[in-house]
Amino acid sequence: MAPRKPQSTAKKSTPRKTTTRKEAPAPRPSKPVFGVGTWVALIVLAALIGGAYYLNNKKETAEAEATPVFEELSFVFGEDNIPSSIEVKPSEGESVKVTRNPENAWAIELPFVTEADQGLAEAAASQITSLGIIDELDATADPSIFGFDNPAYIVTLKFADGTSGRLEIGDSTPTNSGYYVRLDGKKMFIVGLSSIDALTSLAFFPPYLNTPTPTALPITPTVDAPTESAATPQATPTP
């Protein structure tokens, strides 16, 4: 019997398999949702929209500021009050009166009867319906504090419909923007300065068609007493 080969106690080394580790690929850079050009376009668009809104709002504000707000203005007399006679009497001086004659033409009655300049007389008449009321005064106020105890002017009016009116022109307001006016001794107003001045100017500038020529007064000669030098010489007696 053949002898057995002694078994080696050393373990046979089994060659290990080398595993090659694969590296993970680098992450790809994420692509932005909007590019730079898109952002620029959005910013420009927003700026345009904001600018358009600002300009439109500014325009509307300017138009609102430029549009005047008119308050309804009331007048002492209405447009239907067509004057047929106007008399202006100042506190000092002569009255001036103009009247429409049957031919509907203006004529001067005071201070004397004569023809009137139609344009000037009609301009004065148009002031009657232009007497705008700035403010209405308290009816219970003392009239004397407004100058109505001694009015600067009294304007007596007659209208084509047969009605009449009487205006007392008192003092001017502290701001010199108007006059205190009393109608028919009752209602008191503040009326614009220019309208009253245009009306009361009749007292100083009557609308004469032809400027009247002053009439020369006759001169009465006076006889002076003879002076000593002008006396008749007396005869000297002859001796």
Q: Which residues contact 188 (CB under 8 A, 6 or more apart)?
A: 136, 137, 138, 139, 141, 143, 146, 148, 180, 181, 182
* pLDDT (average), residues 34-39: 65
CB 130, CB 77: distance < 8 Å: no
For residue 55, CA distances in Å to 47, 61, 67 come to: 12, 10, 18
Report the run of H or E that residue 60 belongs to, with start and end. helix 36-66
Q: Read off the pLDDT of each residue in 1-27 and give the average, rounded to a whole number.
A: 54
* pLDDT tens per residue across span 169-211: 999 999 998 999 999 999 999 999 988 998 999 999 999 998 7
Per the confidence metrics, is the pTM higher than 0.75? Answer: no
| Lowest mean per-residue pLDDT among 42-56, 141-155, 162-176, 195-209 | 42-56
CB 111 within 8 A of CB 95: yes
Query: How large is the average pLDDT for residues 61-79?
Result: 58
Q: Please choose, from the candidates 161, 174, 169, the residue with its C-alpha nearest in 3D space to the C-alpha of residue 76.
A: 169
pLDDT at position 30 is: 55
Q: What is the mean pLDDT of the chain?
A: 77
Annotated domain spans of the chain: 83-203
Mean pLDDT of 158-166: 93
